Amino acid sequence: MAEFHSKIKTIEWINNYSKMVDQTVLPYEFKYVNITSGQEMYDAIKTMIVRGAPAIGVAGAHGVVLYAQELAKENLSRDEFAKRLLEKADYMATSRPTAVNLMWAVEKQKEIIKNSTADIKGIVEELKQNAIKMENDDIEINKKIGDYGAEVVPKGATILTHCNAGGLATVGYGTALGVVRSAFANDPTIQVFADETRPRQQGARITTFELTMDGIPTTLITDGMCSYFMKKGMIDMVVVGADRIAANGDAANKIGTYTVAIAAKYHNIPFYVAAPLSTIDTSIKTGDEIVIEERSRDEVTHINGKIICAESVNVINPGFDVTPHELISGIITEKGILRPAYTKSIAEAFRL
């Protein structure tokens, strides 16, 4: 296993390119890749070299800068430059459909393109500085989420998490794992149960990788085991991330999260979602409106390149599911913990 520290930045703008951790090779190898063009960034998001809603958002912002740098080298009028760059930005936003942070970040960049009074060179610089600001803001936001979340973690708690909402899903600290990190800093008796998270095994490959490198006691379980351990009284609370949250609190997260929430409700275990306000999409009323990404059948039929089932079997592979707001004890944000009724508390959080 390669050495990892939670302070390492998952994604960072350096000079005129984006540097990011290649998450497709974890935990076998820990390496950075340099993304030097807009199309490379689109592909990096699409193929999950970069993953996790907050990190994808920053990647999208970087991608718009990369496209701007490319277009700035062409002999374009300022109006034509802006027109084509807006088209490229819209294309970047289609690289993955569920994580709203991507659309949010791209829209922030589009506002600069539309409203800037600078020349082409100036617009490129404004986009670059805005992308860097998003990086820095992400870390600070996640630390606030962690600190608010730590307040509801019982002493000596065992926290179950699903998928990876850690430093590698963000710029560097984490949302759900930010809560774990902040709680552990205050109480080193905290421990984590991590679902493996089929089919891409982000819990097994990435969450356990992060937490064990940070010295946080972690137990890996398969996705079907959570109810067993809940019944035995071995899990005290659940904290997960989110890729998009509707105005009523319905939350989309990695496939299998809904199942964990149902089990937690049955066993009277608090179920929290940790996410920045940029993950909340107030333009949609309920989770029924969230587009669920359908991914490749090979993710289900193959592990480490080897087929594990009959070749001709039918496969359906949704990347996410939606947990109804009724199953969520609280949404931990940088503005505090939002409680039911979520339609009200979410609206109030955006007014603060």
Summarize the annotated binding site for substrate as residue ranges: 51-53, 96, 202, 253-254
CA distance 106 to 201: 28
What is residue 41's three-state secondary structure? helix
CA dihedral 81, 83, 88, 91 (to 10 degrees): 180
Integer CA distances (angstroms), 348 to 16, 32, 118, 254, 342, in order: 39, 40, 35, 27, 9
Q: Is 310 exposed, middle or buried (0-12, 13-18, 19+ CB in 10 A)?
A: exposed
Q: Is 299 exposed, middle or buried (0-12, 13-18, 19+ CB in 10 A)?
A: middle
Active site residues per annotation: 243
Q: Give the DSSP letter of residue 287.
A: G
Q: Give the DSSP letter of residue 166.
A: B
Q: Give the DSSP letter of residue 174.
A: B
